[in-house]
Amino acid sequence: MPKFKVESKSNLSQSEAFEKMKTLLADDPDLRKLDSKIEIKTNDAGHTAQVKGSKFSADVKVAATSPGSHVTIEVDLPLMLLPAKGMVQATLEKKLSKILA
């Protein structure tokens, strides 16, 4: 499966950024439009999450930086959905910049 990364830096602390990411992954209607069968497993202590759906999967990591935090989302798409890569990537980048500002 082809992979791509979406990354964003934030002035929020690692914990704050991770909480915002969890809320985004659980509640965002635009992400649900991409795949309505998303399941999320979070590791609060490690500030990581695994997202699995019927159309894609992703690993989310929030790392502490000075100052703030760094969010990385690595997405796996099946070959059939490779043409949708741009739409998925643009949606994630837009959402990250909005919640981490």
Model confidence at 80, pLDDT cuts 50, 70, 90, reads confident
pTM: 0.88
**Whole-angstrom Cα distance, residue 18 to residue 8?**
12
CATH number at residue 43: 3.30.530.20
Look up the domain containing 62 and give its range.
3-99
Model confidence at 86, pLDDT cuts 50, 70, 90, reads confident
What pLDDT sits at residue 39?
Answer: 92
What pLDDT sits at residue 71?
Answer: 96
Question: Tens digit of pLDDT for each residue in 11-65?
Answer: 999 999 999 999 998 888 888 887 888 899 999 999 999 999 888 899 999 999 9
Contacts for 23 with CB less than 8 Å, ≥ 6 apart:
99
What pLDDT sits at residue 17?
Answer: 95
| pLDDT > 90? residue 5 | yes
Number of domains in the chain: 1
Contacts for 25 with CB less than 8 Å, ≥ 6 apart:
31, 38, 40, 49, 51, 60
